[in-house]
Amino acid sequence: MEHIEVKRLLINYKTLEEFENFREYGSQELSMKEDLRANIIENDSESPFYGIYYGKKLVARMSVYRIDQKYNRYFKPAQDYLELWKLEVLEPYRGRGLGKILVNYVKSLNLPVKTNARQRSDEFWVKMDFQPLTYNEERDRGENPYVWFPKGVSEQ
Amino acid sequence: MEHIEVKRLLINYKTLEEFENFREYGSQELSMKEDLRANIIENDSESPFYGIYYGKKLVARMSVYRIDQKYNRYFKPAQDYLELWKLEVLEPYRGRGLGKILVNYVKSLNLPVKTNARQRSDEFWVKMDFQPLTYNEERDRGENPYVWFPKGVSEQ
């Protein structure tokens, strides 16, 4: 089996062009492009995105953001956690376990993880050992929160 | 032209069954079902959902939640605003302007509105006179925020 590596993505015009191939492309990516153009961020700045390349092509990506414990409404004991979003594998590259490789990478950081499960993706998250939280109207506002608990961590 | 009415949805087993036809079905709906079953909420309780029926069939829906001004990070002057999510028209009923009717209903409440534009729906929101906000990594965390300003309201 070939070696598949998860890479932290650097923000440059090449990366931003690759991002256009993903369905979840929006304000975040446009903002990065503007920041780059206006020299607000440097070329090759670090980003919250991680991805998998096949050759020079970005075929899967996700964004991971560390949230300060003061905003933690999900996990106890009190601690920072990771918010995972925009997990996506390009259509022709699905079914090869790339999504799982990305999720395992996040788990290896050994902090609790929270995601908002997209349309009908619940089965995937359960397979990844995530679990749905008790829905809280005020906190979740229509989100479909799934979380992963490292050892010793539980629901708030 | 036939008369199309936007209705506030009541939570009962019939409504929850209708919800299963929508792609964005998840923790929120499951939680309502459990609350109904456990008598935590009464049959025919009010919900944050609004919808359009064709005969007895629910063909479009959205959820609208009023957010207290203390959580307002989008609009000035300080005020409550509406968060719109899960706007969805069932596939066979698209192209008839039902999404627009729902959005116009929300606007008629005359509070600022914020939504998280889903995959590649930016064009729709622009047509609805919404506009993208300057992306803020900490506030938006991968969301694609679009807002609608009533007269006299602007970006924070």
What does the pLDDT profile of chain A (156 residues) look like in tens digits?
568 999 999 999 999 999 999 999 989 999 999 999 999 999 999 899 999 999 999 999 999 999 999 999 999 999 999 999 999 999 999 999 999 999 999 999 999 999 999 888 999 999 999 999 989 988 998 899 999 999 999 998
Tell me, yes or no, whether A46 lies in a domain.
yes
Nearest to B28 among A27, A65, A135 (CB): A135
Interface residue A89 vs chain B (CB under 8 A): no
Pairing assessment for the beta strands A57-67 and A81-89 based on DSSP bridges: antiparallel
Residue A145 touches partner B, C-beta closer than 8 Å: yes
Question: Is A133 part of the contact surface with chain B (CB cutoff 8 Å)?
Answer: yes
Token code pair at residue A138: 């005020």
| Both tokens assigned to A149 | 């608990």
* pLDDT at site A68: 95
Contact B151, A39 (CB under 8 A): no
Of the candidates B27, B137, B144, the beta carbon closest to that of A133 is on: B27
Pick A142's closest partner by Cβ from B28, B134, B142: B28
Classify residue A68: in a domain, yes or no: yes
Residue A111: how many CA atoms within 13 Å on its side-chain side? 20
ipTM value: 0.82
Q: Which residues pair with B25 in a beta bridge?
A: none
Interface touch A28/B119, C-beta < 8 Å? no
Tokens 């479909």 -> residue = A144
Are the beta carbons of B127 and A70 closer than 8 angstroms?
no
Cα(B25)–Cα(B20) distance, integer angstroms: 6
Max distance between CA atoms of chain B, in angstroms, equals: 46
Q: Check: CB of residue B109 under 8 Å from CB of residue B82.
A: yes
**Which among B125, B107, B123, B105 is positioned nearest to B115, based on CA atoms?**
B125
On whether residue B85 sits in a domain, the answer given is yes
Q: With a CB-CB cutoff of 8 Å, which residues 15-34 of chain B face chain A?
A: 23-28, 30-31
Q: What pTM was estimated for this model as a whole?
A: 0.89
Considering the domain boundaries, does residue A1 fall inside one? no
Strands A81-89 and A45-54: unpaired
| Single-letter code of the amino acid located at B50 | Y
Asked if residue B1 belongs to a domain, the reply is: no
With beta carbons less than 8 A apart as the criterion, state whether B52 and B59 touch.
Answer: yes
Per-residue pLDDT of chain B (156 residues; tens, 9 = 90+): 568 999 999 999 999 999 999 999 989 999 999 999 999 999 999 899 999 999 999 999 999 999 999 999 999 999 999 999 999 999 999 999 999 999 999 999 999 999 999 888 999 999 999 999 989 988 998 899 999 999 999 998
DSSP state of B7: E
CATH number at residue B28: 3.40.630.30
Boundaries of domain holding A84:
7-155
> What pLDDT, on a 0 to 100 scale, did the predictor assign at position A73?
95
Domain assignment of residue A134, yes or no = yes
Element (H, E) at A30: helix A27-37
Asked if A135 and B27 come within 8 Å (Cβ–Cβ), the reply is: yes
How high is the pLDDT of residue B1?
52
| Residue B153: CB atoms within 10 Å | 17
**B63 in A contact zone (CB under 8 Å):** yes
pLDDT of residue A63: 96
Q: Is residue A127 part of a domain?
A: yes
- Report how many domains make up chain A: 1
A95 within a domain of the structure (yes/no): yes
Task: Cis check for the bond before B77: say yes or no (omega within 30 of 0).
Answer: yes
